[in-house]
């Protein structure tokens, strides 16, 4: 059984490493078709932040608060940067001599976050450490050791830091001290999985969260007790890749109608009533990316890099754009009537959210992007490349 699990892991790794290169001819053809109006995208400033994520997959994302941008690299460099000038306000290295006496494990490799709450900046590591720094000066506040790698972005609710680790555990930590209030195992049947986990969504006193084998859970926020769980996607194939039904995206919640929207790899996208946990509608669309919910629509990028706008009332596909197939797109971001997406080869795309047509695009960085743009006001955005360079862009 152990050997079989290793073989599964190798197959999955090769699939995701070389899946795009197998479609290289398609990718090259698409690139020739879509590069237009490059002058519409302008870099205001750029600043290096360490070495970035290198060639490793992680979900280290930039965050923004009170005109200050916070960014990090995998090796433990964290910077606070003025949005308007691009100047460093402070920088820390978690492997530095100054912090060695505080942090339980030195030379930490960062993998999840960044998240700001109150005056704290939270970061997760590959070894399962959660670290809290003072957001104003970068000074160490506390750390806490969890049982698994932290990739999913932590979520703050009711004074607790909720973290879904790679081994399938959901942990609730006190945001001020890092004390672990409760932990629960969500992946009892886990055999093999796509790297990454779902961050939780909050509905009143419930945590709504997905897990590896296509199941949505509703969990009591205070105690960690499971209230209900239901499948949105089930394993029906014998093929190793087709058996992957991970829910890695954060569920979306329409609080007016008490409906949640969730999606699994290899399908499905569903609308589910939270109170009865009955499925209202379902589309056979699969993804691992976070989605966007508006008053009447859902925007998403599926696992083949097809971009969709879907009517949330009934799952009707309003439009789809398949011009960027196998470009390894990021999750989308929405600003006014613009849908913003980046890709693994460093391109930034701006689409018309009304009809899905590509308005303009440009290659910003050759190392590529893993995480979606962070949208600001006045047609500006922030995005960090895999080589660590942080960009402030006008589009």
343 DSSP 8-state letter: B
CATH of the domain at 34: 2.40.128.630
**Which range (8-12, 264-268, 334-338) has the least confidence?**
8-12
Question: Which tokens sit at 169?
Answer: 């555990």
Whether 305 maps to a domain, the answer reads yes
Whether 206 maps to a domain, the answer reads no
What mean pLDDT, rounded, does the chain reach?
Answer: 88
Whether 375 maps to a domain, the answer reads yes
Strand, helix or coil for residue 349: strand
154-186 per-position pLDDT tens digit: 999 999 999 999 999 999 999 999 999 999 999
Residue 283 has pLDDT above 80, yes or no: yes
Dist CA 60 CA 240 (whole Å): 28
Whether 275 maps to a domain, the answer reads no
Whether 130 maps to a domain, the answer reads no
pLDDT tier at 295 (50, 70, 90 boundaries)? Answer: very high
CB atoms within 10 A of CB 360: 18
Whether 332 maps to a domain, the answer reads yes
Question: Which tokens sit at 214?
Answer: 């296509």
Residue 386 has pLDDT above 70, yes or no: yes
Number of domains in the chain: 1
The whole-model pTM stands at 0.88
- For residue 105, what pLDDT is reported? 54
Whether 91 maps to a domain, the answer reads no
Residue 24 has pLDDT above 50, yes or no: no
180-232 per-position pLDDT tens digit: 999 999 986 656 667 779 999 999 999 999 988 889 999 999 999 999 999 99
Instruction: Show Cβ contacts of residue 208 under 8 Å, excluding neighbours closer than 6 positions.
Output: 200, 201, 202, 216, 217, 218, 219, 251, 253, 260, 274
Query: Which is nearest to 102 in space by CA: 116, 91, 92, 113?
Result: 92
Whether 377 maps to a domain, the answer reads yes
Domain that holds residue 391: 23-47+300-395
């Amino acid at each position: 059984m152990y050997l079989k699990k290793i073989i599964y892991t190798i197959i999955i790794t090769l699939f995701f490493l070389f899946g795009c290169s197998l479609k290289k001819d398609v990718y090259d053809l698409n690139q020739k078709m879509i590069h237009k109006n490059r002058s519409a995208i302008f870099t205001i400033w750029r600043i290096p932040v360490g070495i970035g994520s290198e060639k490793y997959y992680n979900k280290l994302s930039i965050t923004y608060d009170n005109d200050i941008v916070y960014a990090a690299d995998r090796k433990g460099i964290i910077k606070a940067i003025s949005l308007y000038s691009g100047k460093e306000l402070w920088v820390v290295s978690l492997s530095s001599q100054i912090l060695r006496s505080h942090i339980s494990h030195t030379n930490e490799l960062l993998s999840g976050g960044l998240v700001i709450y109150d005056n704290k900046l939270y970061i997760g590591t590959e070894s399962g450490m959660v670290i809290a720094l003072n957001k104003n000066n970068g000074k160490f506040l506390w750390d806490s050791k969890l049982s698994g790698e932290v990739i999913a972005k932590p979520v703050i609710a009711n004074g607790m830091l909720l973290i879904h680790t790679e081994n399938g555990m959901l942990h609730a930590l006190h945001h001020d001290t890092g004390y672990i209030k409760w932990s629960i195992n969500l992946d009892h049947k886990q055999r093999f999985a796509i790297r990454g986990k779902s961050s939780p969504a909050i509905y009143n006193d419930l945590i709504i969260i997905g897990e590896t084998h296509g199941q949505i859970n509703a969990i009591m926020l205070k105690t960690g007790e499971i209230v209900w769980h239901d499948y949105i996607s089930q394993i029906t194939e014998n093929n190793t890749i087709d058996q992957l039904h991970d829910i890695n995206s954060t569920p979306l919640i329409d609080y007016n109608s008490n409906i949640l929207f969730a999606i699994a790899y290899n399908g499905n996208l569903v609308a589910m009533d939270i109170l009865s946990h009955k499925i209202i509608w379902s589309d056979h669309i699969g993804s691992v990316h976070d989605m966007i919910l508006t008053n009447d629509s859902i925007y998403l990028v599926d696992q083949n890099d097809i971009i969709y706008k879907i009517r949330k009332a009934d799952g009707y596909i309003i439009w789809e754009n398949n011009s960027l197939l196998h470009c390894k797109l990021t999750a989308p971001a929405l600003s006014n009537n613009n849908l913003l997406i980046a890709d693994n080869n460093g391109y930034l795309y701006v689409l018309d959210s009304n009809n899905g047509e590509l308005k303009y695009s440009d290659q910003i960085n050759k190392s590529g992007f893993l995480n979606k743009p962070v949208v600001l006001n006045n047609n500006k955005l922030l995005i960090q490349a895999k080589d660590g360079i942080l960009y402030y862009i006008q589009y």
